[in-house]
């Protein structure tokens, strides 16, 4: 039977999974911001009239896009903060991947609820199995009694039908 109590190992696993999900979400957000910046750079390159400025900005845009491709190939927190502009970097560092006590409690409570439901389903399945067994036993007993009654009646009828030997 499954226990509702979570071990410290299970609690830390839940918390680490949640942190990992948040890190991934944050990486996606930073990449979207960087892609948006690259798109803005491209737009200014297209709207500029001077060839020299266009060349410089195009090179810059290409460098940003190439660097973003590198980041996409190896998504880690360090490469994101290394590439991000100072605005992104400070914002990125202010986002905490730590879970508050309340969030940890919520994760643990959700896991307990899942276990409680699983245990209830297990108990119900066991009960259903037991009731089927009980029904079978009752039917078998009833059939046995009926057979005994029939057998007793047959013996009595045979006994009554015997011709007296005297």
pLDDT given for residue 82 in this prediction: 46
On whether the CB atoms of residues 22 and 107 are closer than 8 A, the answer is: no
pLDDT given for residue 88 in this prediction: 43
Lowest mean pLDDT among 98-102, 104-108, 118-122: 98-102
Tell me how crowded residue 61 is: count the other CB atoms within 10 A of its CB: 19
Residue scoring higher pLDDT (61 or 29): 29
pLDDT given for residue 85 in this prediction: 46
Proportion of the chain above pLDDT 90, given as a percent: 0
Helix 86-94 / helix 8-47 crossing angle, nearest 10 deg = 160
pLDDT given for residue 50 in this prediction: 62
- Convert the pLDDT of each residue in 60-90 to its tens digit: 777 777 777 777 765 555 544 444 444 444 4
Residue 19, pLDDT above cutoff 80: yes
DSSP run (H or E) holding 120: helix 101-161
Whole-number Å distance between alpha carbons of 50 and 29: 33
pLDDT given for residue 25 in this prediction: 86
Phi-psi region of 75 (alpha: psi -120 to 50; beta: other; left: phi over 0): beta
Residue 153, pLDDT above cutoff 60: yes
* 100's tokens: 């508050």
- Mean per-residue pLDDT for 22-49? 78
On whether the CB atoms of residues 6 and 108 are closer than 8 A, the answer is: yes
Lowest mean pLDDT among 23-37, 60-74, 114-128, 130-144: 60-74
Looking at residue 76, the DSSP 8-state letter turns out to be -
Residue 106, pLDDT above cutoff 50: yes
- Mean per-residue pLDDT for 135-156? 79
Q: Give the contacts of 141 (CB within 8 A, at least 6 positions apart).
A: none
With cut-offs at 50, 70 and 90, classify the pLDDT of residue 148: confident
Tell me how crowded residue 109 is: count the other CB atoms within 10 A of its CB: 11
């Amino acid at each position: 039977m499954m226990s509702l109590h979570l071990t410290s190992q299970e609690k830390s696993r839940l918390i680490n999974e949640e942190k990992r999900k948040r890190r991934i979400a944050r990486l996606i957000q930073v990449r979207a911001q960087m892609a948006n910046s690259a798109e803005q750079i491209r737009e200014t390159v297209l709207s500029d009239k001077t060839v020299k400025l266009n060349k410089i900005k195009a090179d810059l845009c290409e460098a940003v896009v190439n660097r973003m491709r590198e980041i996409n190939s190896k998504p880690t927190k360090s490469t994101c903060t290394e590439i991000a502009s100072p605005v992104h970097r400070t914002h990125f560092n202010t986002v905490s991947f730590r879970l508050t006590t309340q969030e940890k409690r919520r994760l643990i409570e959700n896991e307990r609820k899942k276990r409680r439901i699983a245990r209830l389903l297990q108990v119900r399945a066991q009960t259903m199995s037991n009731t089927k067994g009980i029904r079978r036993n009752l039917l078998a007993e009833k059939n046995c009694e009926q057979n005994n009654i029939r057998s007793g009646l047959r013996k009595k009828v045979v006994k009554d039908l015997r011709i007296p030997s005297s």
